[in-house]
Amino acid sequence: MNIADSERIATVLKDLNYKKASKIRDADLIIVVACSVRQSAVDRIFGLIPKFKNLKAKTILTGCVLNPDKEKLKDKFDYILDIKDLNNWYKGSQYPCDYLNIPPIRERKFIANIPISSGCENFCTYCAVPFTRGKLKCRDHNEIIREAKDAVLNGAKEIWLLGQNVNDYKSENTDFPKLLKMVNDIPGKFWIRFTSPHPKDFSKRLINAMVSSHKYGPYVNLPLQSGSNSVLKRMNRPYTYEKYKKLFLEIKKQFKEKRKEDVFMSTDIIVGFSGETKEEFKETEKAFKELKFDMAYINQFSMRGETYALLKMEDTVSKKEKKEREKKLTNILKKKSNKKYIGKILDVLVLEKKEDYYIGKSWDYRTVKFKSTRKNLIGEFVKVKITDALSFGLKGEVAKLIVLLGPTASGKTDMGIKLAKEFNGEIVSADSRLVYKKMDIGTAKPKVLKGIKHHLIDIVNVEDKYNVALFKKDAEKAILSILKKGKTPFLVGGTGLYISSITENIDFPKIKPDLKLRKELEEKTKEELLEIYKKIDSAGAEIIDTKNKRRLVRAIEVAFKRPFFRETKNAPEYDILKLGIKVEKQELEKRINKRVDQMIKMGLEKEVNKLSSRSKILETIGYREWKEYKGNEEIKERIKINTFKFAKRQITWFKKDKSINWIKSYSEAKKFIKKNKFD
Ligand code: SF4
């Protein structure tokens, strides 16, 4: 919540023409966003104050500040601002009546901390929030959705819905489960999390909404606070341990049954609460052993000014004893082994880099550290292979993918098989025609796979539609299945766009067919279509198959609505080694001619005749010529010419990619793999 507050303060300051100072001594204004919930946080503010001495800057204290703390700190700051009054300072175009509606300037664009409510009326006896933040106030759900959409458009990969008691949220007829579903429906790739929920308000509908929202990561922080019913009563937490346990197990069960995945369960605990006896603490220890939390945020009880505890209770447990109790719980947590994750491939959002390691959070919120030679991975999704289990986290390395590419007839198939044999791999075909069944001769489909498993060959009927977006989905699934077996995936093929969809991690826009536009375009000649296409996407026009009318029509349709795949690339989720087979053009032409002669001998004409004439794929090389030309010799020659032209276009496409390592032989490829430690 403090980050969300700071991000709104940043907007107001920008609005007032302030700029971020790189050093504290250069600042004209210092704003401290406080948290009075724990004494340790308040102590940190006192620790900061000496640093402000002899500075020219004016100082402001804001955030979550209890009245007694305000009293103690008022002489130390130039101004104390009630955070709720921040909107009075904002001169933005749309005057927000609630400071939470001030558009934030995010500290990290890939994480959107979105407050959905502020304040709380539960009055847990230890808690300062009802006194600092006041009564529960929920933001309008339209405002929240607007902010979430805006965050996703600006690169957010993780959305946190924040509130002191999120599941108490209500705005008109929208409650928290409904809000969660609405955020889940926002298009784009991002994860959803929330904090904090109260066990008393955790309904079955909320559990359903969580398990059925596919962007909601399987992580729940369910604050228990104490395993002792008598302590819970003194804390004014209206549930028993038995009720909590039932809810805890139900959440786990629902994720296991409906999502087929484990949910990461964490909790909040206060040790040494007023009057907590040794026996009462033992009940918390028992709860820890019984529920086996994945993580716990353990706090030593401290009296906070104005709270019920301060007014009516005593801080009975010594500091030493609180420390001891915290240690005991931490030791139970440590015993939970993470070893079952070794060898698994986890999706990780990278949050930071410390020394040689990147650190991120997995889909289920586990801390994962790993090394990678790649720069700028912060804020990206990567797939990490887990190699080691730590006490509170996991260690691993980015999953590896080897790409073997080249123009048609460059020898990719044979080399791919040899390399996969040598390096314990499986092959994922990246060829837009090998996916089709019954197109064997004209596509030079590999017949002998020499014991190496191939994926994405013969997976669709010629009458069915298949495109790069479907390929990306299928290829990612195949790559993951290979990695899960502990093998190396080889992406082998010559369809540049299919390869780029993985190596450049392209998000494909779901652009629906525009039937009116299509009808107009289909009446034009290929030459006319190319001219139109050149005007909207000259780069795409350089590499498109100009003889394929269907492709031209679709490319124009997409390009009209969104520039040809620009701004949709992301960092690849794997560490990738790209190997390109280099063959001199003369040699390539010779090989193509030989191959076409063989195809004709093997019965290409028969294969063409057997295929349904309705199939659009018959507009591709090796098939369309049988319709366009007459006489076997002419057809053969045309196939040779068109195939060579196609090969040259493939080379043009690949040449643009400077990260390809060009090789001439199998032994060179082998050396590259070993040198780059992809073996
Ligand atoms: S529900 Fe949470 S925020 Fe509200 S009073 Fe209790 S501990 Fe504080």
CB-based contacts of 600: which residues, under 8 Å, 6+ apart?
Answer: 632, 636
Which residue from 117, 122, 133, 224 has its CB within 8 A of the most atoms of ligand 1, so it is best to mutate?
122
**pLDDT of res. 101:** 87
Q: What is the mean pLDDT of each run of 10 residues along the chain (679 residues)?
A: 90 90 91 81 86 89 85 89 83 68 91 94 91 90 93 92 94 95 92 96 97 98 98 97 98 97 97 97 98 96 82 91 97 90 96 95 97 91 96 94 97 96 97 93 84 94 89 97 96 95 84 84 91 82 78 83 58 96 95 95 91 75 89 93 94 93 96 93
How confident is the model at residue 124, as a pLDDT? 94
What is the residue with the minimal CA distance to atom 6 of ligand 1? 124
What is the model's pLDDT at position 567? 46
Q: Residue 397's beta-bridge partner residues?
A: 371, 385
* 485 Cα–ligand 1 center, Å: 46
> What global pTM score does this model have?
0.85
If one residue of 118, 127, 131, 299 were mutated to test the ligand 1 pocket, choosing by the most ligand atoms within 8 A of its CB, it would be: 127
Residue 96: per-residue pLDDT: 61
> Which residues does residue 179 pair with via DSSP β-bridges, in sequence order?
none
CATH number of the domain at 402-508+571-670, please? 3.40.50.300
Domain limits, the chain:
1-100, 353-398, 402-508+571-670, 510-567
237 C-alpha to ligand 1 centroid (Å) = 9
Q: What pLDDT is stored for residue 557 in this prediction? A: 85
Look at residue 41 in the predicted model and tell me its pLDDT: 79
pLDDT confidence of residue 485:
95
E strands in 376-459: 381-390, 393-398, 400-405, 425-430, 454-455
The pocket around ligand 1, CB under 6 angstroms, is made up of 120, 122-124, 127, 129-130, 164-165, 198
Looking at ligand 1, which residue's alpha carbon is closest to its atom 1?
A: 122
Residue 327, number of CB atoms within 10 A of its CB: 11
Write down the pLDDT at residue 566: 43
Structure tokens at 126: 């230890």
Which residue's CA is the nearest one to ligand 1's atom 2?
164
Q: Return the ligand 1 atom nearest residue 128 CA.
A: 8
Residue type, 535: K
| Amino acid 543: pLDDT | 67
Q: What's residue 98's pLDDT? A: 80
Torsion of CA 662, 668, 671, 677, to 10 degrees: 30
123 CA closest ligand 1 atom index: 5
Q: Which residues contact 148 (CB under 8 A, 6 or more apart)?
A: 112, 114, 156, 159, 183, 186
